[in-house]
Amino acid sequence: MNQGRIWCVVNPTVGLPLFLGGVAAISLIVHTSVMTNTTWVAKFFQGKAPAAAAMNSTAPVATMLPGKPGFAVSVAPAASSKGETSFVVTVVPTEDAKLDQVAAAPLE
C-alpha cells in the first residue's frame, strides 16, 4: 500500500469510517444535485421515454482551423433496419487541397 504509514498517525477505527462517510456524503450531494437541477430525471423515474433528438439530413461539421481547411467533412444520419442510429461521414478534399497535392507531386 502506497500510503500505508497514514495508519501510524490516524487509527484505522477512526480513519476508515471518516473516509467511507465522506465518500457517502459526496455521493448523496452529487445525486441530490442531479435530481434537483435536471428536468429529465423525474420523467425517467416515471417511466417516460426520452424525446428523440431532431436530426438534419446533412449537417456540415464546422472546423476551427486557422487558414483554409483542406477537407470538407459532412455528417448525415443513416437509417438502419434494426432501428439503431448510425451516421455516414463524408470527407472530400477541397480545391485548395487538390492544388496542394498536385504541387507536391513529384515530377517524372
Residues 71 and 98 reside in one and the same domain: yes
Q: Does residue 84 form part of some domain?
A: yes
Range of weakest confidence among 2-16, 27-41, 70-84: 70-84
Residue 76, Cβ neighbours under 10 Å: how many?
14
Band the pLDDT of 69: cuts 50, 70, 90.
Answer: low
* Percent of the chain predicted with pLDDT > 90: 20
Q: Which phi and psi (to 5°) does residue 36 adopt?
A: -90, -20
On whether residue 69 sits in a domain, the answer given is: yes
Q: Of the given ranges (4-8, 26-30, 37-41, 74-78), which has the lowest mean pLDDT?
A: 74-78
The range of the structural domain enclosing residue 39 comes to 4-45
**Do 67 and 97 belong together in one domain?**
yes
Q: Which of 60, 50, 61 is nearest to 85 (CA)?
A: 50
52 in a structural domain: no
* Residue 76: inside a domain: yes
Q: Is residue 13 part of a domain?
A: yes
Predicted pLDDT at 19:
93
State the pTM of this model: 0.41
Q: What is the pLDDT of residue 59?
A: 45
**Grid coordinates of 100:** 496542394
Structural domain total, the chain = 2
Q: What is the pLDDT of residue 20?
A: 97
Tell me, yes or no, whether 31 lies in a domain. Answer: yes
- Do the beta carbons of residue 88 and residue 74 sit within 8 Å? no
**17 assigned to some structural domain:** yes
DSSP labels, the chain: -TTGGGGGTS-HHHHHHHHHHHHHHHHHHHHHHHHHH-SHHHHHHTTPPPPPPP--S-EEPP---SS--SEEEEEEEEE-TTS-EEEEEEEEE-HHHHHHHHHHSPP-
